[in-house]
Amino acid sequence: MGDPKFHRRMFDRPKHPWEAARMDEERILVKKYGLKNKRELWKAQSTLRGFRRQARELQARVRASEPQAIRESEGLLGRLTRIGILPSGSPSLDDVLALTIDDVLKRRFEWVVTTRGLSPTPWSARQMIVHGHFIIGDHKVTRPGYTVRAEEEVLIEYAPASPLQNEEHPIRVAMRAKASGESAPSEPSAASVMPPSTGGGP
């Protein structure tokens, strides 16, 4: 079982860490999705490999006419549909094998917040999430890497106590101007949503 004080690593590092082409691709993905570092990307890649590996094994078992494999296939497809990685309808195991790393990263909380127009960039979304400016339903979520289920997308909004509730907040004004194509003042940083510190503790 291992020592509970030492957590098992949840991702695999690249076998050839200094490949220029792979490093360039990683930098692009980290920048595009506002990831903290490559470790978060490697976790997503490990998750994707797990889905693909499970799909390949199930395909072989389904061809062997195993009744349990059919039930497990339905469970895998249902799970991926619920979290929005696969579209609703009638997905198949072939659809799982066709998934890309983008399909996994697009379900991260910071990216969903950005695509819903609640933050100007994934980087600012990440900072706002960590500072507690968003809720999903009645729950405040402060993990940028949280996997948003399809049914939860419509429940994402600004937290009641967040300054971003004010439509005249500089960040919201800048986002509206950018969406309408108007010239806007320089985009404020995400740190500007935080109230001034009053001292007296961390």
SS3 186: coil
Categorize the per-residue pLDDT at 196 as very low, low, confident or very high, splitting at 50, 70 and 90: very low
Encode pLDDT of 93-106 as tens digits.
999 999 999 999 99
Distance CA 118, CA 35 (A): 18
pTM of the model: 0.82
Domains of the chain, start order: 27-100 (no CATH), 109-192 (3.10.290)
Whether 137 has a pLDDT exceeding 90, the answer reads: yes
Alpha-helix residue ranges (DSSP H) falling in the chain? 20-33, 38-63, 67-82, 93-97, 101-105, 109-115, 122-130, 170-180
Question: Quick one: which H or E segment has residue 16?
Answer: none
> Which of 33-42, 122-131, 137-146, 181-190 is least confident?
181-190
Determine the pLDDT at residue 18: 74
Q: How far is CA 169 from CA 155, 174, 176, 192, 193, in A?
A: 21, 9, 11, 9, 8
Please choose, from the candidates 47, 57, 59, the residue with its C-alpha nearest in 3D space to the C-alpha of residue 83. Answer: 47
Encode pLDDT of 52-64 as tens digits.
999 999 999 999 9
Determine the pLDDT at residue 181: 78
Determine the pLDDT at residue 24: 94
Nearest 5°: the CA angle 171, 143, 83 is: 100
